Amino acid sequence: MNIIITGCKGLLGSELSHLFCDNHNVFGIDLPEFDISDKKSIESFIINKKADIVINCAAMTNVDLCESKKNDAFKANSLGVNVLANLCEKYNVKLVHYSTDYIFDGNKGLYYINDIPNPINYYGASKLYGEFEIIKRKNLEWLIIRTNVLYGSMGEANFINWLNNSLVNNKKVNIIDDQFNNPCFIDDLVDFTEFVIDKNLWNNIFHAGSKDYMNRFDFALKFAQIMNYDKKLISSVKTKDFNQKATRPLKGGLDIKETEKLTGFKFNLTEDNFIKLKKTL
């Protein structure tokens, strides 16, 4: 198959490109050469590459930056998705898209697929609008995979790489203990994406994450324990003391049991993912 991966230099896009290039013709695009909101260039790329699937990993993911640069966030997370969905519908190309638990308000935690979204920051709102741009299409085959707190071995900007670099250099870190999620190992998300594409489970929203639910502080402690780092380097802080520009959902995270039932895919425990990750760091 001919697969276009947008945001191919990012955390998820780079891993997906790596995996899919073994069995498919993969064409990665990213800023600054390609902006997904630029209809003309994306249209000719889709035509030239005879795309079968577009996997959209392009997004503005810095939650605080989205709050201060709302136009840019809208362009990447909403308008860009509109352009991709329009073109995929027009040229009969399937579209895989990623969304986030930040479309929810964080009052409940471990959200079900059909829970009512209620974003409390602009990143969440712009991503929710992106979902609407896809779901409303009548003649598009699409998949929306919502996920939360991605981590893996690639990508400088991910939380675990930052934590690893700090702890290995004996640097003290402050980690928030009142934001809860079920962080998603990128390898699991990549495997899940391949799994649902292979099974042709189009026109569904699915949730991806780990089997367990925890706050960031406990997530960091678990990592330190598996890696044999000094846990005393990690201190806990509260969200209210952290001074983040965008409001964060406190009880976030995504229920994965529904998705496991619907697809037959099994997600892993964080501890098992850390053990796998340890071999690659």
Ligand X SMILES: NC(=O)c1ccc[n+]([C@@H]2O[C@H](COP(=O)([O-])OP(=O)(O)OC[C@H]3O[C@@H](n4cnc5c(N)ncnc54)[C@H](OP(=O)(O)O)[C@@H]3O)[C@@H](O)[C@H]2O)c1
Residue ranges that bind ligand X, judged by CB under 6 A: 6-7, 9-13, 30-31, 34-37, 57-61, 75-76, 80, 98, 100, 127, 147-150, 155
In the complex with ligand X, the residue whose CB is nearer, 230 or 250, is 250
For the CB of residue 125, give the shortest distance to ligand X in the complex, in Å.
12
Q: Among all residues, whose Cβ is closest to ligand X? A: 10
CB 176, min distance to ligand X, A:
14
3-class SS of residue 1: coil
Q: Name the phi and psi angles at 92, rounded to 5.
A: 60, 45
- Quick count: other Cβ atoms within 10 Å of Cβ 29? 21
Residue closer to ligand X, measured from CB, 80 or 229: 80
Shortest Å, Cβ 271 to ligand X: 19
**Shortest distance in whole angstroms from residue 97 CB to ligand X:** 7
Nearest of 48, 49, 11, 47 to residue 30 by alpha carbon: 11
Q: Residue 95 carries which side chain, given as an amino acid letter?
A: L
CB 15 within 8 A of CB 187: yes
Q: Tell the smallest beta-carbon distance from residue 175 to ligand X (Å).
A: 15
Report the alpha-carbon distance of residue 30 to residue 20 in Å, rounded.
17
Q: Minimum CB separation from ligand X for residue 186, in Å?
A: 8
In whole angstroms, how close is the CB of 44 to ligand X at the nearest point? Answer: 15
Judged by beta carbon, residue 9 or residue 137, the one nearer ligand X is 9
Look at the block and give the residue holding tokens 């003391």.
241
Q: Please identify, using beta-carbon distances, which residue of 139 and 247 lies nearer to ligand X.
A: 247
**Nearest CA to 97 among 241, 175, 204?**
204
What CA–CA distances, in Å, run from 118 to 9, 125, 127, 128?
A: 30, 8, 11, 9
Neighbours of 21 (CB within 10 A): 14
Nearer to ligand X, 32 or 228 (CB): 32
Residue 15 C-beta: closest distance to ligand X, Å: 8
Rounded CA-CA distance 18/12 in Å is 10
Between 106 and 155, CB nearer to ligand X = 155
80 vs 119, which CB is nearer to ligand X? 80
How far apart CA 111 and CA 147 sit, in angstroms, is 11
CA–CA separation, 97 and 100 (whole Å): 10
Q: Return the percent helix, strand and coil in the chain, to nearest 5.
A: 45, 20, 40
Question: Among residues 76 and 95, whose Cβ is nearest to ligand X?
Answer: 76
